[in-house]
Every structure is written in structure tokens, then in C-alpha cells.
């Protein structure tokens, strides 16, 4: 059973299959996922995205919007002309499956040395 039923079934299936660390990506679960979600809500209020994976080599986090995946850096928040936090999306994927394929490509290309 998922920690967050709002995430696509692929998230649970990855956990069931033991695909939780796909260097450089690692799935967020439990307290770690909760803390990251709280941080995102604090720095980018009202966006309503659910973090589910983080890169281990930088601050990127993959988040589910309810219909697609956005990759953001929630530690590098920019302000708009009024000083409000600006939502900056580094990458976007049409589905969780599309993000997973990109994460698998990152795994293949990742420098393990």
C-alpha cells in the first residue's frame, strides 16, 4: 500500500520490485518524502505537487502534479518581479512512465566512479 495513494501505481510497483535506488535517482518514502513535501510547500506554497524521487548528485526532485512529472530544485528558489517565489521547472515528463524511462537512461549514463 502506498504512503501516498495520489501517486501513480508505477511508484508502488517500483517499491514492490525493489527499484528504490536507481543511481542517481532514489525514491522518496516515509518521513523523507514527508519532509521534502513540507519543504516544497513552505518555499513554493499552493503548488500541490508530490515529491517522489530525488537525485543523489544534486538538489533535483521529481514531483507528481496529478497528471505529469516535473523536476524542480526546491533549494534554488527564484523570486518574480513582486518577490513571490517563482515556480521553475527544470524538466517535465508527460507521465510517470516517461520519467522512469528517463531515470533509467540517467542510470545508464551516470558516472559511478
Per residue in 2-58, pLDDT (tens digit) is 556 699 999 999 999 999 999 999 999 999 999 999 999 999 999 999 999 999 999
Which of the pair, 112 or 28, is modelled with greater confidence?
28
Q: What is the pTM of this model?
A: 0.90
Which of the pair, 76 or 33, is modelled with greater confidence?
33
pLDDT at 27 (0 to 100):
98
pLDDT at 112 (0 to 100):
73
Q: What average pLDDT does range 106-110 have in this prediction?
A: 93
Q: Where are the domains of the chain?
A: 9-105
66, pLDDT greater than 90? yes
pLDDT at 1 (0 to 100):
44
SS (H, E, C) 29-94: CHHHHHHHHHHHHHHCCCCCCEEEEEECCCCEEEEECCCCEEEEECCCCEECCCCCEECCCCEEEC
Amino acid at each position: 500500500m502506498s504512503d501516498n495513494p495520489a501517486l501513480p501505481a508505477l511508484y508502488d510497483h517500483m517499491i514492490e520490485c525493489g527499484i528504490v535506488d536507481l543511481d542517481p535517482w532514489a525514491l522518496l518514502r516515509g518521513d523523507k518524502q514527508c519532509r521534502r513535501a513540507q519543504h516544497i510547500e513552505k518555499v513554493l506554497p499552493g503548488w500541490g505537487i508530490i515529491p517522489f524521487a530525488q537525485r543523489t548528485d544534486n538538489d533535483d526532485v521529481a514531483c507528481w502534479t496529478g497528471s505529469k512529472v516535473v523536476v524542480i530544485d526546491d533549494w534554488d528558489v527564484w523570486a518574480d518581479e513582486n518577490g513571490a517565489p517563482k515556480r521553475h521547472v527544470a524538466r517535465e515528463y508527460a507521465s510517470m512512465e516517461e520519467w522512469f524511462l528517463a531515470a533509467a537512461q540517467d542510470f545508464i549514463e551516470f558516472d559511478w566512479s
